Amino acid sequence: MARDEFEAERTTYNFVGTRPDRPDGIDKVTGRARFGADMTAPGMLHAVILRSPHAHAKIVKIDTSKAEAAPGVKAIVTRADFADGLDGENWNILENVMAGDTALYDGHAVCALAATSMLEARDAAKLVEIEYERIPHVTDVDKAMAPGAPVIREGADDGSVPAGMHPNVVRYHESGHGDVEAGFAKADLVLEETFKTEATHQGYIEPHACLGHMGTDGKGELWCCTQGHWNVQKVCAALLGTETSALRVTASEIGGGFGGKTAVFIEPVALALSRKANRPVKLVMPRADVFRATGPTSPASMDIKIGMTKDGTITAAKGVFRLSGGAFPEAPMEFSAMCAFACYDLENVLQMGYDVMSNRPKQAAYRAPGAPMAAFAVESVLDEMCNQLGLDPLEVRLKNAAKTGSKASYGPRFDQIGLVETLEAAINHPHYKAPLAEGQGRGVACGFWFNHGGETSVSLMLSEDGTAQIAVGTPDIGGSRASMALMAAEVLGIPYENIRCVIADTSSLGYNEISHGSRVTYASGLATIKAAKDAVNRMCQRAAAKWGIDPDAVYWEDGYAKPSGPNAGEFDPMHITEITANMGATGGPINGHFEATPEGAGVSFGTHIVDAEVDPETGHTKILRYTVVQDAGKAVHPTYVEGQYQGGAVQGIGWALNEEYIYGEDGSLQNALFLDYRVPVASDLPMIDTVIVEVPNPGHPFGVRGVGETGIVPPLAAIANAVSNAAGVRMRQLPASPPRILAALKDRDAG
């Protein structure tokens, strides 16, 4: 056996922590990388989806006869072309993918067609006659749970909802510990505030796109941009009524997802059209459809109450979180509730969540779903309390910070965690000491995310020349092919450049959960390390057989099998190339595998500092300086870790200042283009400084924690605090857009 223990003792690495070029780099800078819309097939048709222009309407009639007769049209599908008898989440997905008898939001798919060219498909779509009967709608989360609100779906609650609530409230969560009322009684200052945030979109630049082919025998091929192709395979098979293994799904390069491409929207439609036409069908979402019908976050309405003594000790904290996940029961209100106070070691804490249905698109995950809005509310109250008590906001956070062994606000005790280290790094950062000018304000905030393990399979295949291939099943959304190769290089002791990592299709590897929950570097990384060790074990066995000694007397170091000591015998170290060159004759190909559902993901914390300047005459905010401090456990590729921090922070800047879903009185989305859905542009921003803190995760061989999501948790709060401190007025609603800031200033001046 190889000596397994050397990794745990290891504090230095040969490959992990270096910054080599990514394997997909040249493809991506030359234009040859193939994304969702870049694939073609012989005989391919082009599809379009027709969508409801109404927020809530009965679908009275769909007349496709004129469209069917139009030039080039080969197939038209409606709900009747999908599987019957689904239940649970599969039914919800189908209901979203293609409306049944009711259109539930502006942009809800009702019909689709495929034709021999895109222009023919678009022209034919204009000939489909759909008769709607509009019914009352509601899009605001508070209004949706108020008496008299239109009911989205009767009987959708899961049994957890307290009696007497509106039927649009479909799930309830409660957690915490201690006695909050007793805690508030001990406080010198108790502050209770209400906050609102609007829905945002992940805003990936690549629209959803796929190319599918399915025969009437149910066998199919699908190419698509997704964060999880095994999930696509499973869902598509269910919605089309075929067997899961009959469909092979290949993940394209993915042009951004951030959680939004964990869901299935168009792939079953392309396959249904293809089955009907018996030809490959390409389906690419127009940008407006991406905004109207995919992935927004949940709008949130939140009440926060915190008690604090004069020295800054939090005595009790309570939060109520009302989120709407659109016309489907799945708003991540329990994540809001559970993350809200997780940064703090609290004696008394209580959090409650309500999942509320409304006439909005089905929500999808977006980086730490539910957590950023909760952090905004909680960290705003803390900031206000520090202002009122004259306390340093980071010192107060440090005083109350959760530590190793703290009982988390959501239940378990924390293993080794790094919040204190991020706070200390922030306090000691030059940014925190830098002077501010008149009209400028500084904001800080902490954030927490659980991180996730999940079902994972990895294979590692050795070639005869001693190089290796890794097949992973988690689409690369943050440079993970490089990270996998680095971790495998560390175990195998061969150069990074000698390892190629690919994203396998669903027929070439065991099941892999979606690339979500910041799980890829953790879980696929752990599985890659284990698969590499499996291969190393096999190589040690081959060396042992050649030397005629016990396999236990052989260990692996820096690419060589070595006898483990004088007792094992005197043999020259055997290089990997010597073993692989003859592997066909010494027992056959050498591959390593690992399949598991690792549970030790290791929670993650971050602390952000931001300076902002507000123009008091226009309400315009300029971000002057931004610093992200976050615990990575162990940064496998530090440059890519920085990239995650910077990207998360800037998405948070957008959410805090200008991004929002704007619905009209008629319930239609007013800003379904990048023109008016205002993501940050290059000229809006300063450089984003990063500090990587490394407090190892005991649940990973190299100490890795996921880093993808935590970076978006603090920014909403940090920016709201900076803006509030700069403008001298507390912003309790996001985005803190110029009209809202100017209105708040006028309200303040009016007393």
Partner 1 sequence: MSKKFHVSTTVNGDPVEFLCDSRETVLDVLRDRLSLTGAKEGCGTGDCGACSITVDDRLVCACLMLGAEAEGKSIETVEGIAAGEDLHPLQKRFIEYAALQCGICTPGILVAAKNLLEKHPDPTEEQVRYWLAGNLCRCTGYDKIIRAVMDTAAEMREAS
Partner 2 sequence: MQFHSPTSFAEAAKLAADAEGITRFLAGGTDVLVQLRADAVTPDTLIDIKQISGTHDITRRADGGWDLGVAVTGAEMTEHPDLSTDWPGLVEGMDLIGSTQIQGRATLTGNLCNGSPAADGVPGMVTAGVTVTVTGPDGDRVMPVEDIPAGPGRTTLAKGEVISAVHIPPRGAYGGDAYLRFIPRTEMDIAVVGCSVSLRRDGDVITEARVCLGAVAPTVVLVEDAAKALIGSALDEAALDALAAAAEAACNPINDKRGTIEFRTEVAGVLAKRAAKIAYDRAGGAK
Interface segment toward partner 1; rule CB under 8 A; list 160-168, 252-260, 351-359, 419-427: 252-260
Site track for partner 2 across 274-293, x = CB under 8 A: ------------x-x-----
Taking alpha carbons only, the member of 478, 1, 465, 457 closest to residue 229 is 457
Q: Give residue for tokens 């479909």.
A: 170
Taking alpha carbons only, the member of 299, 295, 325 closest to residue 199 is 299
Interactions with partner 2, residue window 672-691 (CB under 8 A): 674-676, 678, 680-681, 683-684
Q: Does 640 bind partner 1 (CB under 8 A)?
A: yes
CA distance 24 to 3: 33
Q: Does 706 bind partner 1 (CB under 8 A)?
A: no
Contact (CB, 8 A) for 213 and 220? yes
Q: Does 617 bind partner 2 (CB under 8 A)?
A: yes
Closest distance to partner 2 from the beta carbon of 662 (Å): 5
Interface segment toward partner 2; rule CB under 8 A; list 53-61, 354-362, 551-559, 737-745: 737-745
Q: Would you call 440 helix, strand, or coil by DSSP?
A: strand
Interface segment toward partner 1; rule CB under 8 A; list 339-347, 606-614, 642-650, 731-739: 642-650
Q: Rank residues 100 and 286 by Cβ distance to partner 2 and give the closer one.
A: 286
Number of amino acids touching partner 2 (CB under 8 A): 27
Q: Does 656 bind partner 1 (CB under 8 A)?
A: no
Closest distance to partner 1 from the beta carbon of 178 (Å): 39
Edge-first strand listing for the sheet containing 102-103? 102-103, 57-63, 129-134
Q: Give residue for tokens 């910041």.
A: 518
Taking alpha carbons only, the member of 607, 608, 606, 610 closest to residue 442 is 610
For residue 524 the two structure tokens come to 């696929």
Indicate which single residue of 86, 568, 596, 743 sits in contact with partner 2 (rule: CB under 8 A): 743
Contact (CB, 8 A) for 316 and 188? no
Q: Give residue for tokens 């407006």.
A: 288
Contact (CB, 8 A) for 144 and 324? yes
Q: In Å, how far are 172, 378, 382, 411 from 349, measured between CA atoms? A: 17, 12, 15, 10
Contact (CB, 8 A) for 73 and 67? yes
Instruction: Kindly provide the b/e burial profile for residues 356-391, where b requires at least 16 CB atoms within 10 angstroms of the residue's own CB.
Output: bbbbbbbbbbbbbbbbbbbbbbbbbbbbbbbeeeeb
Q: Does 17 bind partner 1 (CB under 8 A)?
A: no
Taking alpha carbons only, the member of 289, 76, 332, 351 closest to residue 199 is 332
Instruction: Name which of partner 1, partner 2, none residue 37 binds, using a CB cut-off of 5 to 8 Å depending on partner kind.
Output: partner 1
For residue 552 the two structure tokens come to 């236990």
Interactions with partner 2, residue window 121-180 (CB under 8 A): 122, 126
Closest distance to partner 1 from the beta carbon of 28 (Å): 3
Closest distance to partner 1 from the beta carbon of 675 (Å): 5
Q: Does 618 bind partner 2 (CB under 8 A)?
A: yes
Closest distance to partner 2 from the beta carbon of 622 (Å): 8
CB neighbour class for 519 (10 Å; exposed up to 12, middle 13-18, buried from 19): buried
Instruction: Name which of partner 2, partner 1, none residue 387 binds, using a CB cut-off of 5 to 8 Å depending on partner kind.
Output: none
Contact (CB, 8 A) for 491 and 470? no
Indicate which single residue of 8, 25, 131, 670 sits in contact with partner 1 (rule: CB under 8 A): 25
Closest distance to partner 2 from the beta carbon of 744 (Å): 12
Q: Rank residues 19 and 413 by Cβ distance to partner 1 and give the closer one.
A: 19
Q: Does 545 bind partner 1 (CB under 8 A)?
A: no
CA distance 220 to 274: 9
Q: Does 34 bind partner 1 (CB under 8 A)?
A: yes
Instruction: Name which of partner 2, partner 1, none residue 319 binds, using a CB cut-off of 5 to 8 Å depending on partner kind.
Output: none
Closest distance to partner 1 from the beta carbon of 484 (Å): 16
The beta-strand segments (E) located in 240-310 are 247-251, 281-284, 300-308
Q: In Å, how far are 78, 369, 517, 592 from 710, measured between CA atoms? A: 40, 10, 10, 32
Instruction: Name which of partner 2, partner 1, none residue 489 binds, using a CB cut-off of 5 to 8 Å depending on partner kind.
Output: none
Taking alpha carbons only, the member of 453, 342, 367 closest to residue 700 is 453
DSSP structural state of residue 552: G
Instruction: Name which of partner 2, partner 1, none residue 478 binds, using a CB cut-off of 5 to 8 Å depending on partner kind.
Output: partner 1
Contact (CB, 8 A) for 536 and 556? yes
Closest distance to partner 2 from the beta carbon of 526 (Å): 41
For residue 376 the two structure tokens come to 């905004």
Instruction: Name which of partner 2, partner 1, none residue 392 binds, using a CB cut-off of 5 to 8 Å depending on partner kind.
Output: none
Indicate which single residue of 651, 721, 724, 725 sits in contact with partner 1 (rule: CB under 8 A): 651
Indicate which single residue of 8, 26, 146, 434 sits in contact with partner 1 (rule: CB under 8 A): 26
Interface segment toward partner 1; rule CB under 8 A; list 166-174, 432-440, 542-550, 637-645: 637-645
Q: Would you call 206 helix, strand, or coil by DSSP?
A: coil
CA distance 263 to 208: 10
CA distance 251 to 262: 12
Interface segment toward partner 1; rule CB under 8 A; list 249-257, 265-273, 419-427, 549-557: 249-257
Site track for partner 1 across 192-231, x = CB under 8 A: ----------xxxxxx------------------------
Site track for partner 1 across 79-118, x = CB under 8 A: ---------------------------------------x
CA distance 57 to 103: 5
Provide the 10 A C-beta neighbour count for residue 468.
Answer: 27
Residues paired with 195 in a beta bridge:
302
Residues paired with 71 in a beta bridge:
none
Indicate which single residue of 258, 449, 556, 594 sits in contact with partner 1 (rule: CB under 8 A): 258
Interface segment toward partner 2; rule CB under 8 A; list 61-69, 487-495, 583-591, 615-623: 615-623
Interactions with partner 2, residue window 585-614 (CB under 8 A): none
CA distance 26 to 32: 8
CA distance 155 to 170: 8
Closest distance to partner 1 from the beta carbon of 731 (Å): 22
Instruction: Name which of partner 1, partner 2, none residue 738 binds, using a CB cut-off of 5 to 8 Å depending on partner kind.
Output: partner 2
> Which residues make up the interface to partner 2 (CB under 8 A)?
122, 126, 286, 288, 617-620, 657-658, 662, 670-671, 674-676, 678, 680-681, 683-684, 737-739, 742-743, 746
> Which residues make up the interface to partner 1 (CB under 8 A)?
21-22, 24-35, 37-38, 40, 71, 118-120, 202-207, 253-258, 284, 286-287, 477-479, 639-640, 642-643, 646-647, 649-651, 673-675, 679-683, 685, 687-688
